[in-house]
Amino acid sequence: METLLQSIGGTALGLLGAALAALLAGIGSAKGTGMTGQAGAGLVSEDPSKSGKVMILQVIPGTQGLYGFVIFFLAFMKVSGAGAALTVEQGMQVINACLPIAVGGLLSAIAQGKVAVASINILAKKPDDWAKGMIMCIVVEFYAILCLLASFLMLNSITL
């Protein structure tokens, strides 16, 4: 296994970690915003006046993709600004630092999308209570922010 990792190289491993942060968090956000958009389209076709509130609910699961891109950018800058090729150990540190937002972003965006879909149902049936659904979405957001923070702190602790 060590020979395989040596042949890949630390820089490539670090770039893989950066790519995973953007890719997985982006996939989660695409899934979350997509299912929310599908649910919202049905409501907006019945009541166009609710399109602004539907759009707010749809945007919320998209933040994880943004968080993943932020970590991608920071990891990419760290790897590309290292000056020399990273060791395998350093590359693995970058991958490990990117994993919280990669996996956490993927899973929390999908979960948040499900909550946002349910919140659209609240908006459809009890429009005055739609903010309660937003609060439920924000509870899921808290864990995405923790994943972002974990990745950020881990990346900042790596010395190259």
| Domain boundaries defined on the chain | 8-156
**pLDDT beyond 80 at 159:** yes
| Residue 43's pLDDT band (cuts 50, 70, 90) | very high
**pLDDT beyond 70 at 1:** no
55-91 confidence digits (pLDDT tens): 999 999 999 999 999 999 999 999 988 777 899 999 9
146-156 confidence digits (pLDDT tens): 999 999 999 99
CATH class of 8-156: mainly alpha
pLDDT for position 7: 67
pLDDT for position 15: 95
Token code pair at residue 131: 């903010």
Give the 3-state secondary structure of residue 85: coil
**Cβ–Cβ < 8 Å for 143, 108:** yes
d(Cα 102, Cα 29) in Å, to the nearest integer?
Answer: 11
Of 74, 80, 88, 37, the residue nearest 59 (C-alpha): 37
For residues 6-26, average pLDDT: 92
87-129 confidence digits (pLDDT tens): 999 999 999 999 999 999 999 999 999 999 999 999 999 999 9
pLDDT for position 84: 77
d(Cα 103, Cα 124) in Å, to the nearest integer?
Answer: 32
**pLDDT beyond 80 at 4:** no
Token code pair at residue 74: 């920071």
